[in-house]
Amino acid sequence: MAPVVGLILLIPSILNAQDWREELRADLVVLRDGKMVIEEYSIERISLPGYAPAEYQVKLYMEAPQDGTISRDFFVAFSAYYGITILQTMLAADYNVTAAEFLAAYESEDLDAPIGTPDLEISIVMTGEGVQVEIRNTLTNEVSRSTETWEPDR
C-alpha cells in the first residue's frame, strides 16, 4: 500500500513537470504582421517589512521587425533583460531599501492572459534605428517614454 500512496503523492509534481515541458516547447516570439512580438502578463507582488504590501498586474509588450534588421536572438535577450530590469527598477523606486532586500520581498507570477486591465503596461519597440520604451500607468494615466538610437553619438 505504501508504494501506491507514494505514487499518488508524486502525481502533482509529475503534472507540473509536464506543464514545464509544454512551456519550454512554446514559442516565446510570435510572428505577426511582419513583426516579432512578445506579449506577456504577470502579477508582481512586493511585501517589504515597514511598507504596505503592493500588487500590480503588468503587461509587457515587445516588438521588432521580422525582416532580419534585428536578430531573433538579440530581440529575445534584449527584451527579456530590459523588460525585467525596467519593471523591477520602476517598482523598487518607491522603497528605501537595498536591491537585495527588495528582490527578497519581490514575487512574480506569470499569467496566460490579462485579468481585466493591467495596472502597468510596458512597451518596448525596436527598429533598425533604435529602441523606444514606453511605460503606461493605467491607474493614473501617466505615460513615460524614452527613445534611443543604436548609435550612441546621435
Digit-coded pLDDT (tens) for 28-77: 788 999 999 999 999 999 999 999 999 999 999 999 999 988 999 988 88
**pLDDT for 135:** 92
Instruction: Please tell me the pTM assigned to this model.
Output: 0.78
Contact status, residue 31 vs residue 65, Cβ threshold 8 Å: no
* Cβ atoms of 107 and 44 closer than 8 Å: yes
Close Cβ partners of 105 (under 8 Å, ≥ 6 residues apart): 46, 47, 48, 49, 97
- How do the domains of the chain map onto residue ranges? 28-149
**pLDDT tens digits, residue range 93-147?**
888 888 888 889 999 999 999 999 999 999 999 999 999 999 999 999 999 999 9
